[in-house]
């Protein structure tokens, strides 16, 4: 341990201990904790720093909050070891059974994998796990933040996956010493499983092709991939990754749904189920189950996958269609509501007058005001470019379009729209702020909001509004969040008698019905939208 990195001395000769804090996200700046040791004695300062550094190491290796779901982590670790296992099995297939001499290292590894976690890593990495963990995260696609924030979790899952990979290898090795004659022959095993389009037709191979295609055409945002793969990973747990696609039936889909309805929430985290297989976990009583909304989320992913599989010749039929719980799933789900009037007034007053001093930047002020008076989504606001504020026929408007920045993201085609500037934004001086940005040569309205693959541009503003502003104003609740401003706009316009298709056009919801989708495809004029949005008032 190099204490020089942790110690600094003030101009008065007092020693300070400095401890680097892990970044919670790639977009965050590196920060440190600085603590006075209240001594000028180098020896005593060294002793105190050594103790504090050891405490810091212990805390760092405890499980901390993570941006990564546990099932997403398991999917990546499983893929890594599955690839390693495939390489070893391919070698057995090519060269045949291993000799006693070659078997010895495998047996040693198997014994090590059954040891305690502490002994496992002490033997495998006697000099510490930090460097190895970083290398493993890079090789497996796990974010480096997991190695910093949750090393204990990654190390634990690594050991479990490593152990079970060796068990699978051993089972396959032993199978080479026997021939099976008594088991009934499945007709699907008589020929190599091939789908109608000539590709290998196992479930895992179809999933791999499905994910790769969506990556290639950019259908999913980066943050969506891990969640999709985690959901499909559960499907392989239930049906088996080597299950032939054409043999999967509607009865199998019903069996999957039954398991989902009994699936414990956070089954890989809670003590009662984290060591159990999927089929064992669903039998555990007295644990909280996943919500109906989560069940529908899984089924939606499965339905989309099998729709694709049927179109591309992997599956004989579309499955999971019509199996979602639907309205019954949303009955118990919490509904987002509009801001209460007093809460909205408190937010508006602080943002415009800054009595408490919570508004630290122009971006805090103007991005929040746009949220109040435009009903736009968080990321739509934070990704605004200077060129997106335009004028047409005397009306100023936000031209929300996917041009000018490759990082721009919109939820749907309906989200690409024109939103007139509310009269209050004009009164408060948004155009002056816009002109100032132009004078400075800025391309973006809020350049201090950095882009993250997972959260787009909106993470910093969302955290400030939800974690700093509303608690300080004494109005924090599950409804008083940034997205609640959008619900407030919708509610107020509906209460003002504005027709639904008009306020749907303002907030970027798809307009429903033949009349709107066929006969009114061009939508409403800026003048119509301007007259509607100006009816909103704080």
Same domain, 484 and 379: yes
CATH number of residue 313's parent domain:
1.10.150
Instruction: Please report whether residue 79 resides in a domain.
Output: yes
Is there a domain that residue 475 lies in?
A: yes
Please name which of 435, 362, 364, 361 lies closest in space to residue 396, comparing C-alpha atoms: 435
Largest Cα separation within the chain, whole Å, is: 86
Residue keyed to tokens 């047996």 = 107
CA distances from 166 to 142, 242, 296, 504 (A): 22, 19, 35, 56
Q: Are residues 504 and 424 in the same domain?
A: yes
Residues 433 and 382 grouped into a single domain: yes
Per-residue 3-state assignment (H helix, E strand, C coil) for 280-333? HHCCCCCCCECCHHHHHHHHHHHHHHHHHHHHCCCCCCCCCCCCCCCHHHHCCC
Q: What is the pLDDT of residue 517?
A: 45
> Within a domain: residue 538?
no
Same domain, 283 and 236: yes
Question: Mapping DSSP to helix (H, G, I), strand (E, B) and coil, where does residue 160 land?
Answer: helix
**Are both 99 and 46 inside the same structural domain?**
no
Output the domain CATH number for residue 379.
1.10.443.10
Q: Are residues 159 and 218 in the same domain?
A: no
2-52 residue pLDDT tens: 445 678 888 778 888 887 776 555 555 666 777 888 888 888 888 888 888
pLDDT the model gives residue 388: 94
Q: How many domains does the chain have?
A: 4
Taken in order 128, 161, 232, 268, the sign of the CA dihedral is negative
* Residue ending a domain, choose from 156, 183, 210: 183
Q: Are residues 402 and 496 in the same domain?
A: yes
- The confidence score (pLDDT) of residue 88 equals 86
The answer to whether the Cα torsion of 456, 512, 425, 526 is positive or negative is positive
Residues 323 and 364 in one domain: no
Q: Is the pTM of this model over 0.75?
A: no
211 lies in the same domain as 294: yes
Kindly report, residue by residue over 466-494, the tens digit of the pLDDT. Answer: 999 999 999 988 778 998 999 999 999 99
3 state SS of 465: helix
If asked whether residues 218 and 275 sit together in one domain, one would say yes
In a domain, 449, yes or no: yes
pLDDT at 220: 72
Range of the domain at 127: 61-183
pLDDT value, residue 331: 52
Q: Which of 144, 11, 135 is nearest to 67 (CA)?
A: 144
Position of tokens 């055409």? 217
What's the pLDDT score for residue 524? Answer: 86
Q: Which residues contact 313 (CB under 8 A, 6 or more apart)?
A: 195, 196, 197, 199
Low-confidence ranges of the chain (pLDDT < 70): 1-5, 22-31, 58-67, 180-200, 221-223, 327-336, 511-522
Task: Give yes or no: residues 53 and 111 share one domain.
Answer: no
Which helix H or strand E contains 483, and what residues bound it? helix 482-495
Give the domain-ending residue among 284, 316, 333: 333
What local confidence, expressed as pLDDT, does residue 518 receive? Answer: 38
Residue 280 lies in a domain: yes
Q: What crossing angle do the helices spanning 430-439 and 362-374 adopt, rounded to 10°? A: 130
User: Is residue 360 one of the residues assigned to a domain?
Assistant: yes
**pLDDT at residue number 108:** 83
Distance between CA atoms of residues 96 and 170, nearest Å: 13
Residues 269 and 364 in one domain: no
* Residue where a domain stops, chosen among 183, 199, 227: 183
Query: Would 168 be classed as within a structural domain?
Result: yes
Residue 202 lies in a domain: yes
């Amino acid at each position: 341990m190099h204490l020089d990195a942790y110690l600094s001395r003030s101009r008065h000769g007092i020693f300070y201990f400095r401890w680097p804090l892990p970044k919670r996200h790639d977009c965050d700046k590196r920060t440190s904790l600085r603590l006075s040791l209240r001594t000028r004695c180098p020896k005593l300062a060294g002793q105190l720093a050594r103790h504090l550094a050891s405490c810091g190491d212990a805390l760092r290796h405890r499980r901390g909050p993570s941006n990564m779901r546990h099932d997403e982590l398991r999917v990546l670790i499983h893929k890594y070891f599955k690839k390693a296992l495939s390489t070893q099995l391919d070698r057995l297939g090519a060269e045949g059974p291993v000799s006693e001499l070659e078997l010895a290292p495998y047996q040693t590894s198997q014994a090590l994998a059954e040891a305690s976690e502490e002994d496992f890593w002490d033997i495998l990495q006697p000099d510490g796990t930090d460097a190895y963990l970083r290398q493993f995260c890079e090789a497996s696609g796990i974010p480096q933040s997991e190695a910093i924030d949750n090393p204990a979790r990654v190390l634990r899952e690594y050991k479990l996956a490593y152990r079970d990979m060796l068990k699978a290898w051993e089972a396959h090795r032993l199978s080479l010493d026997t021939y099976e004659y008594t088991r009934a022959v499945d007709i699907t095993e008589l020929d190599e499983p091939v789908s109608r389009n000539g590709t290998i037709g196992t479930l895992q191979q179809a999933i791999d092709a499905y994910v790769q295609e969506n990556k290639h055409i950019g259908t999913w945002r980066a943050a969506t991939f891990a969640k999709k793969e985690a959901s499909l990973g559960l499907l392989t747990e239930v049906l088996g990754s080597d299950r032939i696609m054409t043999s999967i039936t509607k009865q199998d889909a019903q069996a999957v749904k039954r398991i989902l309805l009994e699936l414990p929430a956070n089954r890989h985290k809670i003590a009662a189920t984290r060591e159990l297989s999927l089929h064992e976990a669903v039998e555990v009583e007295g644990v909280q189950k996943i919500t109906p909304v989560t069940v529908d989320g899984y089924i939606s992913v499965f339905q989309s996958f099998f729709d694709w599989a049927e179109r591309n010749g992997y599956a004989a039929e579309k499955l999971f269609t019509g199996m979602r719980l639907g309205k019954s799933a949303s009955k118990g789900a919490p509904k987002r509501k509009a801001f209460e009037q007093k809460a909205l007034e408190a937010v508006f007053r602080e943002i415009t007058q800054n009595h408490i001093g919570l508004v630290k930047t122009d971006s805090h002020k103007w991005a929040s005001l746009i949220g109040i008076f435009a009903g736009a989504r968080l990321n739509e606001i934070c990704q605004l470019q200077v060129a997106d504020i335009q004028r047409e026929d005397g009306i100023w408007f936000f031209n929300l379009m996917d041009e000018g920045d490759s990082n721009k993201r919109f939820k749907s085609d309906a989200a690409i729209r024109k939103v007139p500037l509310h009269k209050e934004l004009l009164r408060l001086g948004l155009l002056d702020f816009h002109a100032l940005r132009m004078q400075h040569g800025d391309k973006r309205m809020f350049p201090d909001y950095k882009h993250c693959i997972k959260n787009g541009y909106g993470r910093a503003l969302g955290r400030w509004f939800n974690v700093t502003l509303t608690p300080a104003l004494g109005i924090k609740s599950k409804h008083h969040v940034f997205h609640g401003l959008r619900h407030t706009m919708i509610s107020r316009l509906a209460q003002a008698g504005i027709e639904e298709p008009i306020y749907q056009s303002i907030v970027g919801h798809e307009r429903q019905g033949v009349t709107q989708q066929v006969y009114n495809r061009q939508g409403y004029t800026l003048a119509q939208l301007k007259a509607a949005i100006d009816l909103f008032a704080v």
